[in-house]
Amino acid sequence: MFKRILFTLAAATLLIGAVEAKADKYTVATDCTFPPMEYLDAEKNPVGFDPALIQEIAKACGFEVSVQNIAWDGIFAGVAAGKYDIVASAVSITPERKKAFLLSDPYYDVYPTILVMAGSTVAKPADLNGKKVGGQIGNSALVALDKAKTGCTIREYDDVGLAVEDMVQGRIDAVALDSPVAMYYLNKKQEYQNKLKVAMNVGEPEQYGFVVRKDNKQLLDKLNAGIKLVKENGAYDRVLKEYMGEAK
C-alpha cells in the first residue's frame, strides 16, 4: 500500500509538472525585408520592431512564440492554411483583410511621410510642385502622394533604400515612405546621421495589426490583451526606441 501511495504521488507530481511546463506556443510569420519593422540580423535571425514586440507580448501573456522569416507572397495563405498562427509583419488593417482574417487591435499608426535632405526648404505639399520624389514600388506612401496631386514627378524603386541614396546624391529631391521606415533612416542608419529630416506627412494614416485565422478568436483575445499590457508596462516604448530611435 505504501509503495502504491508513493507511486501515485510520483505520477501526480510528474503530471502536474508536465502541465505547468507546457506553455502555449505559436508560430509567427514575418517577411524580413522591411526594416525597422522586420529584417534579418547578421546571423539571419528575424529581428525588428514586430519580432521584438510579439516576443514582449508573449512574455506578458505567458505564452511562447517562434518567429519565422516567411516571404510576403505566401504569408497570408500560410496562416489561412494553419502553417503559422500569427502574421506580425507590418500588416495594414483594411476592410478586405478583415473579411478574410481576424485582425488585432491596432498597435502602430503609420503615416505616409516625405523625407528630405536636412537643408531642404520643402515643408508642405505645394513645395513639391516640379520636384522629383522617389519611393518603393507599390508603397502606400507613393499612392497617397499621387492622390495629393502635388505636381511632383514620381520615380519608383525596387528598394526604398535606393531612393534615399539617390536623394543624398542629388538625383531626386525627396522620398515618400512609411513613417517607421523614415524614422529608421533618420535615426538608425549611421551613414545618414544629421543629413535627413521629415518634411511632412501626406494623406491619411494607416494602422498595423496582427493577423490570425478566422476561427482563432481565443488567440486574438490574447494578442489584444498583450498589446494593452506592453503599452502599460513600458515594453512597447522600449522596443519603439530601440528600433526607431527618438522622434525628430
For the segment 144-174, what is each residue's pLDDT rounded down to a tens digit? 999 999 999 999 998 899 999 999 999 999 9
Q: Where are the domains of the chain?
A: 23-108+207-244, 112-204
Percentage of residues of the chain with pLDDT beyond 90: 80
What band does 22 get if pLDDT is binned at 50, 70 and 90? low
Comparison of pLDDT for 20 and 200, the residue scoring more: 200
CATH topology of domain 112-204: D-Maltodextrin-Binding Protein; domain 2 (3.40.190)
Cell of 183: 524614422
Q: Report the pLDDT value the prediction gives residue 33, as an integer from 0 to 100.
A: 85
For the segment 198-227, what is each residue's pLDDT rounded down to a tens digit? 999 998 899 999 999 999 999 999 999 999
Q: Is the model's pLDDT at 45 over the cut of 60?
A: yes
Q: Residue 89: which of 230, 209, 188, 180 has the closest Cα?
A: 209
Q: Report the pLDDT value the prediction gives residue 247, as an integer from 0 to 100.
A: 61
Residues 6+ apart with CB under 8 A from 52: 239, 242, 243
Q: Residue 129: which of 160, 177, 174 has the closest Cα?
A: 174
Instruction: Tell me whether domains 23-108+207-244 and 112-204 share a fold.
Output: yes
Mean pLDDT of 82-94: 94
Q: Is the model's pLDDT at 2 over the cut of 70?
A: no
DSSP per position, the chain? -HHHHHHHHHHHHHHHHHHHH---EEEEEE-SEETTTEEE-TTS-EESHHHHHHHHHHHHHT-EEEEEE--HHHHHHHHHTTS-SEE-S-PBP-HHHHHHSEEPPP-EEE-EEEEEETT----SGGGGTT-EEEEETT-HHHHHHHHHT--PEEEEESSHHHHHHHHHTTS-SEEEEEHHHHHHHHHT-GGGTTTEEEEEE-S--EEE--EE-TT-HHHHHHHHHHHHHHHHHSHHHHHHHHHH-S--
Which CATH code is given to the segment(s) 23-108+207-244? 3.40.190.10
Comparison of pLDDT for 52 and 140, the residue scoring more: 52
Percentage of residues of the chain with pLDDT beyond 70: 90
Q: How far apart are CA 70 and CA 85, in angstroms?
A: 13
Mean pLDDT, the chain, integer: 90
Tally of residues, the chain: 248
For the segment 106-130, what is each residue's pLDDT rounded down to a tens digit? 999 999 999 999 999 999 999 999 9
